Amino acid sequence: MTTPQKITGPASYFPSIEKKYGFPIEHWLSLVGQQSGMKHMEIVNWLKAEHGMGHGHANAIVAYSLAKSLR
């Protein structure tokens, strides 16, 4: 029997982000994907200012999104 692998890194925040803000992660990743030409912290600050997101949650989404786009 195998044990489920524990999610680590930015994705570990996803369940609490979905619960707190009421949207699936795909919603947030889509919004971040539309912010072309912006740097990491610019997008974090945009999520905080425009969507009332906390710093840790915004940073996790941006870090995940940008890392995914580099693959």
Within a domain: residue 9?
A: no
1: number of Cβ within 10 Å: 2
Within a domain: residue 28?
A: yes
Structural domain containing residue 62 = 22-70
Within a domain: residue 54?
A: yes
- Cα(64)–Cα(12) distance, rounded to whole angstroms? 10
Within a domain: residue 16?
A: no
- Cα(24)–Cα(37) distance, rounded to whole angstroms? 24
Number of domains in the chain: 1
Rg of the chain on CA atoms, in Å: 13
Q: Are 18 and 61 in contact (CB under 8 A)?
A: no
What pLDDT is recorded for position 1?
63
Per-residue pLDDT for the chain (71 aa), expressed as one digit of tens each?
666 788 888 999 999 999 999 999 999 999 999 998 999 999 999 999 999 999 999 999 999 999 987 76
